[in-house]
Structure 1
Amino acid sequence: SSGIQPVLHFVPEESVRELHASGLVATEDKSSFDYVYSVAKLADPENAGLKVKHRLVSTFLKLYPDVQFEIRSLTDASVHQQMMVLFKKWGERKKARNSAYDLAHEESAILRLLSRADAISFGTDIFVSCAFLRGEMIGFGVDEIVQKQYALSHFIKGDIAYRGIYEFINERIAQHLLAHDVHLWNWEQDLDIEGLRKMKSTYHPAEFFKKYFVSEFPIADKTL
């Protein structure tokens, strides 16, 4: 034996509840917790808990009054190239600030999504939110209404040369979701990346979708 015990990853909380009689050990995997937000709170410019975010949106709109927000189908090939141009611009800025950042995995995920847009869109409610300024895409999000009253964020990218772009897109997507009777919006996990954790925390999640390691014995190293 190598002395390494088998470990199950990403086990959801509802499955863990059924393990108590099995003798197996469940350990919280906090870096894999999904952040889940109240759509109504994110959509409401008067929400006191997010006044800094909404102030940034107001400033953004004063600086860029010509910005246009549009909902497009994932199958709309006319936005695919613009999405990749923006992603590469975002990636260059990311690499300039953090040369160790690996863009390849995320780029391949977006390319895979776009290349299979027709198949992925069939029977699903997935959409692209676009922010355009004078015809140029300066931000986009890819989200999916996965079940009644629940949505999942797949990607969001913005050109940070336009201060407030992320806050603007998030507020507008939330308003779109609210109009479709969606109550909760899952932004997925922070991957134990400090910047992601800080950003997602500032939006004050309503709850977390918890995930666990499951093993025969307690786990000392939670980074498995």
Structure 2
Amino acid sequence: MLTSYPNFQSIQINHKAEIEEAISQFEPYSDFNFVSMFSWDVDNSVQICELNGNLILKLPDYLTNKPIYSIIGTNKLDESINILLRDVGQIGLVPEKIVQEINTNNDLIITEDRDNYDYVYDINKLVTFEGKEFAKERNYLHKFQKLYGHSLGIDVFSKPLSNYADEIYTVLELWAKSQERNDEDAKNENTAIKRAIQHSDELNLSGFILNIDNQPKGFAIYEFLNNDWSISHFEKADSTIERIFLFIKHQSMYYMQKNGSTFANYEQDLGIEGLRQAKLGYHPARFLKKYTIKKH
């Protein structure tokens, strides 16, 4: 049972069903996805409560760690947002559906937050790579398969994630070494993946290990949602192997499609230019738009 605003509580594994019910009327925004919130809560800073039957979220900004407050739900939105703005000044990561339903004459400044738009891919297009726009990807994928095809192995998760922990940790070490990463962001992501592994029985995640010459070189962890959506949570690999991430993404799309998914949420780019160009390079079908709201 969620506490009532303004009494926030730390997110716990037993909140999963209640949170998923609260967001079920919305498209699958990554910020409100339970697996994402729970696994990335590496320092007990993700907090939740309810206000007028809406889910209220407090979480650290993805880049600055300053607190962000947000809301998702359909009940008494104008009243709920006014209460939040009175108390915290600004709310962010607000889904487009909420912005469309509130009274825009209510002395509000509503601003698109492009850096936090979720990228939505048409899974079939990224499985087939048909058309001129994917000519480069088809060529790269063909070269990768030609070079490594004889030694590739895909170990699809058939058991909880914890059964693949050794292989996942091996890949994380390879990734960190190949990227020369040992910063706080890399450590937090490792912790988030470990939290997902530790609670894999409850989180019901899917994915695979990519082996080359019987050695783990990459992995993908994703989630099949209760509709025609999937969401990507983690993709890591030995980046000294050229085009390995393209192959992993292509395989992820294949298995998402095989499970019946039509769309894949690949989360936001945070305004990081290299990440934005990489995500745009896969030609998103559309975005899940988010907004910030404050008073005049």
Task: Report the Cα offset of residue 27 of structure 1.
Answer: 0.8
Out of 44, 51, 58, the position equivalent to 2:128 is 44
1:189 aligns with 2:268: yes
**Number of the residue aligned with 2:147:** 63
Gaps of 5+ in 1: 218-224
Q: Is the 8 A contact 1:5 1:215 kept in 2?
A: no
Letter in 1 for 2:280: S
**Number of the residue aligned with 2:79:** none
**Number of the residue aligned with 1:32:** 116
Out of 70, 88, 93, the position equivalent to 1:10 is 93
Q: Is the 8 A contact 2:123 2:256 kept in 1?
A: yes
C-alpha distance in structure 1 between counterparts of 2:260 and 2:131, whole Å:
19
**Number of the residue aligned with 1:137:** 216
Task: Report the Cα offset of residue 21 of structure 1.
Answer: 4.1
Identity of aligned pairs, percent? 28
Letter in 1 for 2:278: M
Q: Helix, strand or coil: the match of 2:191? A: helix
Task: Report the Cα offset of residue 5 of structure 1.
Answer: 6.7
**Number of the residue aligned with 2:107:** 23
Aligned length: 208
Bigger drift between 30-39 and 41-50 goes to 41-50
Q: Helix, strand or coil: the match of 1:69? A: strand
Letter in 1 for 2:173: K
Pair 1:68–1:45, CA change in 2 (3 A): farther
C-alpha distance in structure 2 between counterparts of 1:198 and 1:174, whole Å:
19
Q: Is the 8 A contact 2:174 2:237 kept in 1?
A: no
Task: Report the Cα offset of residue 184 of structure 1.
Answer: 0.6
Q: Is the 8 A contact 2:179 2:239 kept in 1?
A: no
C-alpha distance in structure 2 between counterparts of 1:74 and 1:192, whole Å:
36
Q: Is the 8 A contact 2:207 2:252 kept in 1?
A: no
Q: Is the 8 A contact 1:72 1:127 kept in 2?
A: yes
Q: Is the 8 A contact 1:36 1:184 kept in 2?
A: yes
1:91 aligns with 2:176: yes
Q: Is the 8 A contact 1:8 1:213 kept in 2?
A: yes
Letter in 1 for 2:136: V
Q: Helix, strand or coil: the match of 1:143? A: strand
Q: Helix, strand or coil: the match of 1:182? A: coil
Q: Helix, strand or coil: the match of 1:181? A: coil
C-alpha distance in structure 2 between counterparts of 1:197 and 1:118, whole Å:
33
Pair 1:203–1:212, CA change in 2 (3 A): same
Task: Report the Cα offset of residue 12 of structure 1.
Answer: 0.5
Pair 1:143–1:100, CA change in 2 (3 A): closer
Q: Is the 8 A contact 1:10 1:29 kept in 2?
A: yes
Q: Is the 8 A contact 1:90 1:157 kept in 2?
A: yes
Letter in 2 for 1:80: A
Letter in 1 for 2:164: V
Q: Helix, strand or coil: the match of 1:185? A: strand
Bigger drift between 129-138 and 109-118 goes to 129-138
Q: Is the 8 A contact 1:140 1:156 kept in 2?
A: yes
Pair 1:70–1:45, CA change in 2 (3 A): farther
**Number of the residue aligned with 1:79:** 164
Q: Is the 8 A contact 2:115 2:270 kept in 1?
A: yes
1:200 aligns with 2:284: no
Gaps of 5+ in 2: 1-86
RMSD: 1.9
Q: Is the 8 A contact 1:130 1:139 kept in 2?
A: yes
C-alpha distance in structure 2 between counterparts of 1:76 and 1:147, whole Å:
20
Task: Report the Cα offset of residue 81 of structure 1.
Answer: 1.4
For CA contacts below 8 A with separation 6 or more, give which structure has more relative contact order.
1
Q: TM-score, normalised by structure 1?
A: 0.86
**Number of the residue aligned with 2:232:** 153
Q: Is the 8 A contact 2:109 2:295 kept in 1?
A: yes
